[in-house]
Each structure stands twice: as structure tokens, then as C-alpha cells.
Structure 1
């Protein structure tokens, strides 16, 4: 699906544009041509080559999915690859993932155009488009301000995913630290007590998802940093080619710095969650070991008591003719009283030693 608009002048509504008129619109140095391609076809790729003369390497990156986030400077434009992430659909269900992949967004940004290419719907691009039309200030700063809006919207969408991980880790800690035998509060009809009492699989799944999220966000941090250096370099009029572009870059530097700070904070938060998860895993193993020790202590105490019974039974089971208790009228009652006495004595001893 193609969306093509021409913002001829800042502050004015966009004009619809036919693909055959792109070259004419690009002659306007004060406007911006926005071309959005959702699930592009080969014909769409050919349109980019014919109208914008994009480099073949950049076109190859468009055709390949799951590219690493990056920024590449070409003659006259900047190519950026970024990734959208969103939280899972059902956070309360421990069996559901916390992280879902969104669209891979590719952008070409030049002095008077911005091309966005993505597989599937992109909320970040849609939000950026709305913010761009509503802000005269952003329009005055040019197409690189539009690129900033895309980056800012995309990075802001990472925070709900972090909240999902935070909730999941808190739930796992609560389940792990519950005393043995205490009822588990089920938060979803699809969950069950058996799954929640055995959270090791969920722990490992969350750790894997955190690693996956970091695999996308860490390159985004580096890409935004590269973009920040690019904007900083463009503040030089000789490098920018004209004073107006240098002034725009100077105004945009603080905005890109803000996005870069957000990406740093997100990566640090992911690393913190990984540490928390490692601590939760250690706590799970420690709790499991303690519960096993409690069971072993109880079974050992019962075994010792039964061994005492077996010893008494063995004594009176010996084949000797002269054993007074064998012919005593109250011998059977005496043996049971001895069983009970030994059991009570051993139980009191175990309790004093805190073995039970």
C-alpha cells in the first residue's frame, strides 16, 4: 500500500501527489515529499530507484527482513533501519510471551523528502505522521525532524514492553517466595496452579525474551548515537552545504540527544531486569533446595522412628525359649507402650534440636 503526500510549505495541509509527479515535487527545496510503503512489492522498489535513485545496497537491505538496526549515510540522504517492539497480548498469563515483534521500519531521509518502508502496519510511523502535521515547529526543521518523530515514537513504544517484563518478574518472585502449601492466586483462567508452582520454564522463557529485546534495542542505541553525530556534523555550514540545513541540524540536536538518552535508559533497564531475573532464578533454586531439605528431614526422622520400632520388634522376635515378656499376659500392651514412649521421646529430641 502506498501513501504519498507533499508538504509544500510548513504549516499548510499536505497535498496528494501522484507517483509520476514525485520528481517535480522534489524540486521544491522548502517542502517535503513523504512516501510511505507498507508491504512493498517489486514495482514499489523500482519506483524508489527510478524517482529517488537510491543505492543498490540500500535496496538490497530493503528486500532482506530482520536487518540489524543501523544508520548509513549515502550521497544526499540517510538510510536508517529500526525495529518496533510491543508487549504480549495477555500479560497476566504466565504461559504467554512478554514480547512481540512489530514492523521493521526503513527510512530514507534527504533535504526535502522522507521515505518510510515497513512490513505490516507501523504505529510509530502513523504517530509520527500525526505529530508532524500538528507541529509547525517540526515542519520548520525539515525532513530530519520527521525522522526524529519516528524514532521518538518507536522508542517510546518500548516502555510498555519493559512494564510487561517488570510485571512478569514480580509475579515470578511472588510465586517462588510463597511458602510451600500456600494457595496460589491464579490471575488468568488459562493458568493453573501446577504451572505456577514450577516457574523454572517461565523464568528461562523470560530470560530468553529479554535477550531478544536487547538484541534489537542495543543496535538501536548505537544507530541513534550515529544519527546524533551526523546531526552534530551537519551543524557546520560547509558540511551541510547551506546555512539553512546547518540551522535545522542545530535545532534538532537536542531532540536526537533526548532519544539517545531514552535508548540508553532502556538498555540499562533491560540489563537490570536480567540481573533481577538471575537473582530470581537463584532464589528459585534456593527455595527448591530448602523445601527438599525439609522433606528429607521429615523422612529421615520418620525413618529413625520406624527403625526404633524395628529394633524393638527384632528383639522380641528372637528365637529364645526364656524370654519372660513372651509369656506375660500384658506383653503385647507393654510393647505398644514401648513403641509410643520411644516415638514421643525421639520426637521431643528432634524438636529440641530443631530437626523438625
Structure 2
């Protein structure tokens, strides 16, 4: 699907479905290509004449957030997050002073938000290609917050698990699933943070004072999100280590108890083995009180060892 927004030299804003519908030379042209067909992909080369490498980056291969500078335009790659599938969605931007093309293979709420803000702008003379790109970028970054907050809430919910009947194995599984989600969002937020920082430092494009304020706002959000993600990762690492330690502690206690019982029964087994031998001439073998005496000795040994272990606080 293609939709077109253009502002003429009189700062009148108009929309359409195709850039070919323009009746006058625009001051600014914005073409949004969403869920494109093969025919619509051809516009990038045949109508806009973009460099084949940037077209390949946009159409063929999923890229990390980045930028490239070409002769007459800049090419950016942004990553949005789909809150239903938790997967990154690529938004490609081709931009110069009079043109901006946004290209995305999936429907983008972030581009819709930027589009609506421009369409309902009271003063179209304030709109520039860089302003549209920054509004899109701001919408992309703001849409990370629900995902980051949701993961942070899940991390904090582990504090209440002591009152829930759940096994350690289940908790460990949940922790690793949570760390996987945190790694996913981290792979998106950190490269975007690096890209915005490079924009802010003026290493990509010259910025006005107003644009720098806007980028500082976006960069602050990314810094906050990155800190929340790192804090959540540290907490999940602590949770994982704590539950592994707890599991090891429980296993050690079990092994200690089993070892104590084994030690208690070792001398009893020795006595039973001795008097179970089939020799004709054995002391006390035909003694009238031999059976009861052996039982008394075995009980004394058992209770004596239990008392000794209790005194040493071994269990």
C-alpha cells in the first residue's frame, strides 16, 4: 500500500495514493510504502532512483539500526517492536531536504502516529523532512516503553513468589524466558541508542537547536529504557543464582540426612553380617540371651550416634 503526503510552495498540505497524482511541484513530499507488493517495490528504483544498495537493504535483508550516506539522500534503518509478537519490525527511511520515503514490510503504528500528527498539523510550513523523521523516530522509541515496563513488572513479581505454590524448576524456566525477552529488546534498544547518539552529536546531519532539543528528548527515553533493561537483567541474574543456590542447598541437606542414616546403619549392618555367618563355633551363637543382647547393643549404638549427631548440630 502506498500513500502520499505533499506540501506545495504555498504550504498547502495534500494527500493521495501515488506520487504520480501530484499536480504541482511540492516543497516537501512524503511517500509511505507499507506492506509493499513487487510492483510497489519498483518505485524505489524506477521513480525515486535510489541507490541499488539501499534498496537491497530495505527490500531483501533485515538490517540492524544504522544509517548510510549517499550522494543526494540519507538512508536510515529504525527498529520498532511489535507488542503482540515481541519481534522487531524494520522501518527504512530515505530522506533529503525535499523528500522522505518511509518503507516497512509490516503495518507500522509508529508511522501511522507520525502521519496523523503531520496531517493534523495547524501550520504545514513548520513541517520538514527531518521533522517527519524525528516524529517517526519518537513514536518508535515511545512504543518501547510498554514492552520494557511489562518485563520490569514481571521481574518485580518474582518477589511475591514465596507465597505461591510453584516449583523451583518452573521459576528457573520463567526466569530464562524473561531473560530471553530482555535480550530481544536489548538488541533493539542499544543499537537505536547508538544511532540517536550519533545523530545528536552531529556526526550524520546538521541539526538546528529545536531538532537537538527533540533528539535530546528521544535520547533520554532510550537511556532510561536501556537502564531499565540492564537493571532487569541484573535482577533476573540474581534470581537465577538465588534459586540455583537454594536448590543446591536443599540437595545438600537431603544428601546430609541420607549420609547420616547410612552411617547409623553401618555398624548395625556389620553386626548383622557377623552373626549371619554360618560357622559352627561362634561365641554367643547358642547363648540363651544372645538375640536380646544383640538388639540392645544395636539400639544403644543407634541412639548413641543420633545423640552425638544432635549434639554436633549435624541435623
User: TM-score per shorter chain, which class?
Assistant: 0.7 to 0.9
Q: CA deviation at 1:301?
A: 0.8
Q: CA deviation at 1:208?
A: 4.1
Indicate yes or no: 2:187 matched with 1:215: yes
Q: CA deviation at 1:286?
A: 1.8
Indicate yes or no: 2:84 matched with 1:109: no
Q: Which residue of structure 1 aligns with residue 314 of structure 2?
A: 355
Structure 2 residues not aligned, in runs of 5+: none
Q: Which residue of structure 2 aligns with residue 243 of structure 1?
A: none
Q: Deviations over 1:181-236 (max 9, x none)?
A: x8625xxxxxxx58515x2x55444444433433322221122123324499535x
CA shift in 2, pair 1:71/1:148, >3 Å? same
Q: CA deviation at 1:125?
A: 0.9
Name the TM-score, length of structure 1 as normaliser: 0.74
Q: Which residue of structure 2 aligns with residue 327 of structure 1?
A: 288
* Count of matched residue positions in the alignment of Structure 1 and Structure 2: 313
Q: CA deviation at 1:42?
A: 3.3
Map 1:1-356 onto structure 2 (within 5 A). Answer: 1-8=1-8, 14-16=14-16, 18-22=18-22, 24-25=23-24, 27-29=25-27, 32-87=28-83, 100-136=86-122, 140-170=126-156, 178=162, 184-185=165-166, 193=167, 196=170, 199=172, 201-230=173-202, 234-235=206-207, 249-317=208-276, 319=279, 320-323=281-284, 326-328=287-289, 332-356=291-315
Residues 138 and 218, structure 2, Cα contact 8 Å, conserved in 1:
yes
Name the TM-score, length of structure 2 as normaliser: 0.83
Question: How far apart are the structure 1 equivalents of 2:10 and 2:213?
Answer: 21
Question: How far apart are the structure 2 equivalents of 1:275 and 1:183?
Answer: 23
Q: Deviations over 1:304-354 (max 9, x none)?
A: 1111321343454465444188412xx545544544443333223323322
Q: Deviations over 1:132-188 (max 9, x none)?
A: 33444786142212111111111112122223332444456766xx5xxx8625xxx
Q: Secondary structure at the match of 2:42?
A: helix
Question: How far apart are the structure 2 equivalents of 1:17 and 1:159?
Answer: 32
Residues 168 and 247, structure 2, Cα contact 8 Å, conserved in 1:
no
Q: Secondary structure at the match of 1:323?
A: coil
Question: How far apart are the structure 2 equivalents of 1:183 and 1:277?
Answer: 18
Question: How far apart are the structure 1 equivalents of 2:125 and 2:252?
Answer: 68
Question: How far apart are the structure 2 equivalents of 1:138 and 1:48?
Answer: 26
Residues 86 and 161, structure 1, Cα contact 8 Å, conserved in 2:
no
Question: How far apart are the structure 2 equivalents of 1:46 and 1:291?
Answer: 64
Q: Secondary structure at the match of 2:314?
A: coil
Structure 1 residues not aligned, in runs of 5+: 90-98, 186-192, 236-248
Question: How far apart are the structure 1 equivalents of 2:92 and 2:204?
Answer: 22
Q: CA deviation at 1:14?
A: 3.9
Q: Secondary structure at the match of 2:270?
A: helix
Question: How far apart are the structure 2 equivalents of 1:139 and 1:295?
Answer: 76
